[in-house]
């Protein structure tokens, strides 16, 4: 999450054993003074100038992504698999959030359409289109998440009916995203709420939320590279089983509208934290969400994870790679249940500590790409380059875009 709310966790880092780095521990990189050899069964593997990591010997040296790890396989909730990672060393998706249409929304889901700041030059905002083109061409990104407030889409009406004027503005960004060849996530950025009231639990009825998704999905039903992000960061939900019913209503609406093949992202409670979804009950409830035909094809678990001291995404310094507290238990849970996850928000400051820990987090995710599909950094778009987690490239007087330090050193796949 990128708010002042903090989830408690204990920041654990890999420990060395008899002078050797542990599996998934750091073993090299600029300024590194720790162990440079690994425990038995692991190999110190170069990631970039800032980071080398002890990876299982069987996963090193692989540079291509196997189609067997794609999100197109139907799974049973009772399926179990080997606990060992079978990742190929490359993720399927690398991306950036292009924020702006969500501006003005707070964590209670209270927004006004006037608060949005579209990342579009034609609406007097920053050049989000140019940013996406740069990220694809220069950095090799292939996914963008496009946050938008429910209120913006419906013209400040608690309804599922789209406001044609506002939706057309948002669609300009979506179409520009699609034109790059990337996958584009439609993200309703309302924290499971509309103006403070939880959907299906005292707020808008599930049927209203389903109508919203029916209208969105009808418009994009034939667009292969659209990804439907059901809801950003639900939190403090009184009943996670009821929330799973709300998510089911959205999934059924999307599929019934004709969008039968695209990925749908399923968000849990606790700000969709990768450190809790496997243990807080909401993940277990989401495992029961199905497509109308009973399958679970392309129903992907949505998770977020920041690396600062309070997990808020508000601090420039990072203190953990989240491997021990989040990614290891999450990967095990996903394998046990035959499911996959996408990390749609992660980030840090443009600092040395965030270079170290972000490189480590990404290396672990690559080693576990059988269950972790990729990550989407927070954030560019309408954020200025002075924003604490800015991934907005700097624009020179000659129009040349230069990436933020964390992007160029860790997060860009090229």
Residues labelled as active-site residues: 233, 345
Question: Tokens in use for 165?
Answer: 């004027």
**Closest listed residue to residue 305, CA positions, set 268, 332, 334:** 268
Max Cα separation, the chain?
65
State the burial class of residue 223 (Cβ atoms within 10 Å of its Cβ: 0-12, 13-18, 19+): middle
Task: Write out the DSSP string of 108-148.
Answer: TS---GGG---S-GGGTS--HHHHHHHHHHHH---EEEEEE
C-alpha to C-alpha distance for 73 and 333, rounded to whole angstroms: 17
Quick check: 348 and 305 in contact, CB under 8 A?
A: no
Task: Give the Cβ contact number of residue 39 at 10 Å.
Answer: 15
**Closest listed residue to residue 131, CA positions, set 185, 169, 173, 168:** 173
Quick check: 324 and 363 in contact, CB under 8 A?
A: no
C-alpha to C-alpha distance for 174 and 263, rounded to whole angstroms: 16
Backbone angles phi and psi of 14, in degrees to 5: -60, 135
Quick check: 249 and 206 in contact, CB under 8 A?
A: yes
C-alpha to C-alpha distance for 285 and 350, rounded to whole angstroms: 37
């Amino acid at each position: 999450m990128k708010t002042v709310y903090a989830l408690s966790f204990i920041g654990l880092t890999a420990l060395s054993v008899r002078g050797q780095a542990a599996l998934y521990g750091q073993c090299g990189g600029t300024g590194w003074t720790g162990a440079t050899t690994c425990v038995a069964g692991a190999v110190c593997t170069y990631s970039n100038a800032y980071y080398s990591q002890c990876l299982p010997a069987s996963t090193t040296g692989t540079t291509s992504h196997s189609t067997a790890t794609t999100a197109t396989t139907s799974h049973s909730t009772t399926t179990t698999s080997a606990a060992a990672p079978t990742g190929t060393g490359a993720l399927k998706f690398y991306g950036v959030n292009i924020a702006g249409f969500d501006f003005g929304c707070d964590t209670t889901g209270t927004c006004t359409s006037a608060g949005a700041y579209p990342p579009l030059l034609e609406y007097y905002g920053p050049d989000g289109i140019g940013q996406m083109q740069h990220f694809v061409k220069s950095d090799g990104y292939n996914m963008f998440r496009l946050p938008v407030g429910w209120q913006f889409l419906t013209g400040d009406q608690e309804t599922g009916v789209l406001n044609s004027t506002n939706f057309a503005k948002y669609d300009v960004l979506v179409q520009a995203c699609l034109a790059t060849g990337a996958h584009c996530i439609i993200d309703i950025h309302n924290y499971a709420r509309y103006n403070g009231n939880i959907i299906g639990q005292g707020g808008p009825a599930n049927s209203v939320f389903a109508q919203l998704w029916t209208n969105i999905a009808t418009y994009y039903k034939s667009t292969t590279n659209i990804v439907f992000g059901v809801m950003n960061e639900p939190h403090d939900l009184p009943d996670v089983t009821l929330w799973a019913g709300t998510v089911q209503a959205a999934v059924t609406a999307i599929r019934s509208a004709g969008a039968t093949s695209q990925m749908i992202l399923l968000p849990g409670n606790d700000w969709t934290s990768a450190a809790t979804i496997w243990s807080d009950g909401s993940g277990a409830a989401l495992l029961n969400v199905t497509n109308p035909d009973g399958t679970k094809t392309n129903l992907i678990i949505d998770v977020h994870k920041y690396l600062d001291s309070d997990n808020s995404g508000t601090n420039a310094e990072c203190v953990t790679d989240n491997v021990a507290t989040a990614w290891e238990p999450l990967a095990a849970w996903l394998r046990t249940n035959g499911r996959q996850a996408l990390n749609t928000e992660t980030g840090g400051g443009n600092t040395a500590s965030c270079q170290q820990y972000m490189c480590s987090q990404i290396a672990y995710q690559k080693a576990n790409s059988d269950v972790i599909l990729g990550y989407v950094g927070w954030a560019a778009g309408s954020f200025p380059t002075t924003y604490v987690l800015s991934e907005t490239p700097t624009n020179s007087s000659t129009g040349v875009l230069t990436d933020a330090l964390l992007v160029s050193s860790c997060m860009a796949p090229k």
